Amino acid sequence: MKKNCLLLVMCLLMVHLAFAQNTIPVQGRVVDASTGQPLIGAGVAVQGTSIGTQTDVNGNYTINAPADGTLVISYIAYQNAQVPVNNRNTINIELQQDTEALEEVVVVGYGVQEKRDVTGSIASVTNEELVKQASQNPVSSLQGKVAGVTITNSGAPGASPQIRIRGAGSALGSADPLYVVDGTFVDNLSFLNPADIESIEILKDASSAAIYGVRAANGVVLVTTKRGKAGDSRVNYNGFVGVQRVTNALEMTDAQEYATLINEKNGTELIPTDLPTTDWYDQILRTALIQNHQVSASGGSEKITYSASAGYLNQEGIIEGNEYERITARLQTDFELSENVKVGYNGIFYNYNSLDIPGDIFYQAFVAPPIIPVFKANGNYGDSFDFNVGNFANPQASIDWFKQESSGQQFIGNAFGEVEFLNNFTFRTSLGVNYGLNEFTNYRSQDSLTSVQYASRSLLTQGRSKRTSWLWENTLTYDKVFGEHEITALLGTSAQENKFENFVGSVNDVEFNSDANLYLDLGDPETFLIEADGDRFTFLSYFGRINYTFRDKYLLTATLRYDASSKFPSSDRWEYFPSVGLGWRVIEEEFMQDQTILDNLKLRASWGRLGNNNIPSSIFILPVSTDARYGSIFNGVLYPGRNITQVVSPTLYWEVVEEVDLGVEMGFLNNRLTAEIDWYNKETKDAIFGLTPLGYLGLTGEIRGNYATFRNRGLEAVVNWTDDISDDITYNIGLNFAVNKNEVTGIATGNNVFFNGNLPVGGYQVSITRIGDPIGAFYGYEVDGIFQNEQEVAASAQPNARPGDFRYRDLNDDNIIDERDKTIIGDPNPGFVFGINTGFSYRNFDFVLDIQGVSDVDIYNGNRNVRYGNENFSQDFFDNRWTGPGTSNFYPSASLIGSNLDPNDFFVESGDYIRIRNLQVGYNLPQSLVNNWGMQNFRIYVNAQNPITWFDYNGFSPEVGGVPVSQGIDRNVYPLSATYNFGVNVTF
């Protein structure tokens, strides 16, 4: 069956060749009309045929054309020229710059489009902006650059930031957008060196993204890597070295303050107050080095163009022993086999090695009492047992004991063939592969470090996971101008298979002399344990798009995608995802010709429907639970235990996003001032939610179904000002901001409320999803002060409270504090996100200052809520706590237990922040000097990334993130760090 499929699809590849005609040879040169400079790679074609060529490095071309034919010469950002051949053998052509060609070209799905013809909301970030950031991950470079895109960074080396486009578009899963790199779908961009990227386009609205149908509910990030240009041979070196330092470290109590708090809390002199202090953050944090180098080369002849690069990144973590090393390599070549046949490929390879740290090390350092010494006098690790405060790991011991290396390779490649035929048709087939391997080796030696950190047998754990995926896409494009009508039509098919395999083995008692001993078969065979799992899913899609422009004024884009995914049951597998976008370039109208205020005015409106495939595979199929804990033990022997502990929804269908976008684009003062404003309403219908089952059903995990409908509605604005004060001084200021409001509009289940967001202690859930409120809003008691004395307690609705406890507001006035008194106490969905990007250049100096921030967002301070026992406290808590009548009416006493830990608004804090994202000063060495060195350009710069972040939140970082239904709960305390770099860009 599969073979038949392949054969049939081969039909799509059939090539229809054009005919040769009686012709004469024509040659000539294409130059810029104003400067006389040759134009390299300009297209020269015979009108009405598929005959065409490109100019060479000197702007020269040769073509065989009908003696009575017409040549069409085209070049990006220049006006097309049409020149009758008139039996001439030499035709030199001057092209006029297109005055409207300020309009850049943007990449859209399966094609490119001039920005002015776009009817949706697409943001574009170019290489120039990316390399200014000196950052390791392309996604973090986007922070603050694009209106409506919220990026939440993680401080961990090699980690991918979380990205949200126009709010959370889906509830279950990551709500991450689709990443498309040169046509291949990938999970993240951590394998890419930002310097390799030509541009990143973000398809924000449904009509732009609808061509990606089922994958596009959370937006699409299109990455185009660099491609070589004919004749434009150059070699580049980009590199920087820098240091990373933690900023905004949270001040914790010292030993004396800690002892005071614990004694207060427990009502006894449990701990002496004269013990020496260990500052655990000081102990485990360090200034980390980072270096990044990249060499790239590109160029080519008329027939072959290439681009290649190699990069090396070495980043130390801010924790001792943590290191991440990445090698990236890329090779791209395009071949023009004949006038109308083009083939090419693009391959990206990356390899990483990492020395890892324990996943909970920041948590350990956060809770570890400061009275525990790093080492005891006898040289052993300090042990919480010696202090009778409860079980705490010694963070230094954890780091020293932890031995884990991981590594991975990934290859992302794409090969294509393109045929132009019948003048207006282009057929393209492309095959993409994504192959990745990740491995780790963890060895826990037999050791006894503290009373809670010990192992009586060593344990070797090794894991390997493999990903293979292929994507085959075929498109047929038709391009034609009929008088005032311009049409581009696209038809396409797409098929994809993804497969993951994961294998982990462990064994005890491997004798360790060197890393060379770390093989599973060297352990005690009685203790072998193997765990393996996998995943496979497929997609099949058909899609089409029509772009129609009438009189260069009226624009239409219509798309339709018909998608199927194996993730859904066969009854609900196929779905249509249509969209339509309309544009009106008002500035072109007669009545606009007399006004002088506006240089550009375009109105856009679009509607589209998208799907979400960010759900686990086969969630409609009931699994059997096989967990080891279900095994029964009789007479010391383990017997497998299996049973059914879940239910699956009988009907599961596509969750769809429908979005309306209205936009206006304006230009003033000779387009020095531009503005773009978008309003959108994005509705996620029948969103797949995980429902916590009623306990008496005895299930494990969630029940998933199409349970809720919610919407994101907002406004985005981008304003840019570019000007020069003199020939020496130019500057630009860009401002972007977005407001977004999230609201749940419908819920399909009986009880109309979803609780999520587990807090660390006591099984509390703080996030609620219910009609009329934002998804995952914080829900709990309002604190109405602190009980100052027993009389106040006795007179209150909380008879069991103690002085120093929270007094909760009795919202229904029934003199009982219970669930009915809970209310919405915060919203973790960012309401306002902004960025200010400025550039300034004076002669050879350039200067960049980028500011970025978020406001109207709440965080639930889950770290402060971690009170199993005698965890450390923050300095802020020590300074402000209640210690007796009249001492505080906001902070409770140190005895933060019991109902004080019920979700309440004391723990809700503003997550607003404003940050200097990037501060950079560069200097271009004088051209004369550089030319003597055989270079075209030599620039040095210093930059500071994230040097300052201002926020009020009592935590390490206001960037918390999380899945939509339980986002914004800070249970992870990875500190923020600043990076200071010195860098060089050289072009040979």
Q: To the nearest whole angstrom, how small is the minimum distance from the Cβ of residue 761 to other proteins?
A: 7
For other proteins, the closer of residues 146 and 908 by Cβ is 908
Q: To the nearest whole angstrom, how small is the minimum distance from the Cβ of residue 894 to other proteins?
A: 10
532 near other proteins, judged by CB under 8 A: yes
377 near other proteins, judged by CB under 8 A: no
Residue 524: name the closest of 620, 458, 463 by CA. 458
* Selected binder of other proteins within 286, 330, 864, 867 (CB under 8 A): 867
Characterise 50 by phi-psi region: left (phi > 0), alpha (psi -120 to 50), beta (else): alpha
8 A C-beta contact, residue 769 and residue 965: yes
8 A C-beta contact, residue 365 and residue 374: no
615 near other proteins, judged by CB under 8 A: no
DSSP 809-831: P-TT-SS--SGGG-EEEE--S--
For other proteins, the closer of residues 13 and 669 by Cβ is 13
- Binding to other proteins, residues 728-767 (CB under 8 A): 748-753, 755, 761-765
* Selected binder of other proteins within 49, 160, 870, 874 (CB under 8 A): 870
- Binding to other proteins, residues 800-829 (CB under 8 A): 800, 818-819
Stretch that binds other proteins, among 69-77, 213-221, 688-696, 930-938 (CB under 8 A): 688-696
* Selected binder of other proteins within 538, 681, 796, 910 (CB under 8 A): 538
772 near other proteins, judged by CB under 8 A: no
Stretch that binds other proteins, among 272-280, 318-326, 411-419, 530-538 (CB under 8 A): 530-538
Contacts of residue 302, defined as CB under 8 A and 6 or more positions apart, other chains included, come to 53, 54, 56, 230, 336
* Selected binder of other proteins within 869, 876, 880, 940 (CB under 8 A): 869
Q: Torsion angle, CA of 932/938/941/945, rounded to 10 degrees?
A: -160
Stretch that binds other proteins, among 179-187, 576-584, 613-621, 880-888 (CB under 8 A): 613-621
Q: To the nearest whole angstrom, how small is the minimum distance from the Cβ of residue 387 to other proteins?
A: 9
* Selected binder of other proteins within 117, 902, 905, 959 (CB under 8 A): 902
DSSP 762-811: TT-EEEEEETTS-TTEEEEBPEEEE--SHHHHHTSS-TT--TTSEEEP-T
226 near other proteins, judged by CB under 8 A: no
8 A C-beta contact, residue 493 and residue 502: no
> What's the Cα-to-Cα distance from 520 to each of 234, 507, 529, rounded to whole Å?
49, 6, 10
794 near other proteins, judged by CB under 8 A: no
- Would you state the structure tokens that stand for residue 663, as one six-digit string? 């936009």
* Selected binder of other proteins within 640, 772, 886, 934 (CB under 8 A): 640
597 near other proteins, judged by CB under 8 A: no
Q: To the nearest whole angstrom, how small is the minimum distance from the Cβ of residue 696 to other proteins?
A: 4
* Selected binder of other proteins within 36, 650, 772, 886 (CB under 8 A): 650
8 A C-beta contact, residue 678 and residue 603: no
Residue 655: name the closest of 220, 216, 967, 209 by CA. 216
- Binding to other proteins, residues 121-160 (CB under 8 A): none
8 A C-beta contact, residue 656 and residue 686: yes
8 A C-beta contact, residue 741 and residue 831: yes
* Selected binder of other proteins within 444, 573, 672, 939 (CB under 8 A): 573
Q: How far is Cα 490 from Cα 607, in angstroms, rounded to an integer?
A: 19
8 A C-beta contact, residue 582 and residue 604: yes
Parallel, antiparallel or unpaired: strands 43-46 and 52-54 = antiparallel
Q: To the nearest whole angstrom, how small is the minimum distance from the Cβ of residue 18 to other proteins?
A: 10
For other proteins, the closer of residues 702 and 856 by Cβ is 702
Q: How far is Cα 964 from Cα 919, in angstroms, rounded to an integer?
A: 32
Q: Torsion angle, CA of 922/926/930/935, rounded to 10 degrees?
A: 60
Contacts of residue 695, defined as CB under 8 A and 6 or more positions apart, other chains included, come to none
Residue with tokens 């009686």: 22
- Binding to other proteins, residues 414-433 (CB under 8 A): 422
Query: Residues in contact with other proteins, total (CB under 8 A)?
Result: 125
Q: To the nearest whole angstrom, how small is the minimum distance from the Cβ of residue 286 to other proteins?
A: 32
Q: How far is Cα 669 from Cα 116, in angstroms, rounded to an integer?
A: 18
571 near other proteins, judged by CB under 8 A: no
633 near other proteins, judged by CB under 8 A: yes
Stretch that binds other proteins, among 37-45, 117-125, 259-267, 947-955 (CB under 8 A): 259-267
Q: To the nearest whole angstrom, how small is the minimum distance from the Cβ of residue 262 to other proteins?
A: 7
Strands of the 43-46 sheet, one edge to the other? 52-54, 43-46, 70-74, 81-84
Q: How far is Cα 300 from Cα 275, in angstroms, rounded to an integer?
A: 71
Q: Supply φ then ψ for residue 304, to 5 degrees.
A: -130, 130
* Length of the chain, in residues: 988
- Binding to other proteins, residues 461-520 (CB under 8 A): 493, 495, 497, 499-501, 506-508
8 A C-beta contact, residue 403 and residue 444: yes
Q: Residue 261 is inside which H or E element, if any?
A: helix 255-266
For other proteins, the closer of residues 507 and 969 by Cβ is 507
In the shown chain, the binding pattern of residues 691 to 720 toward other proteins, with x for contact by CB under 8 A and - for none, equals xxxxxxxxxx--x-x-x-------------
* Selected binder of other proteins within 642, 724, 842, 926 (CB under 8 A): 642
Stretch that binds other proteins, among 100-108, 289-297, 624-632, 909-917 (CB under 8 A): 624-632
For other proteins, the closer of residues 218 and 458 by Cβ is 458
- For residue 10, the 8-state DSSP code is H
35 near other proteins, judged by CB under 8 A: no
Stretch that binds other proteins, among 133-141, 482-490, 619-627, 960-968 (CB under 8 A): 619-627
Q: To the nearest whole angstrom, how small is the minimum distance from the Cβ of residue 899 to other proteins?
A: 6
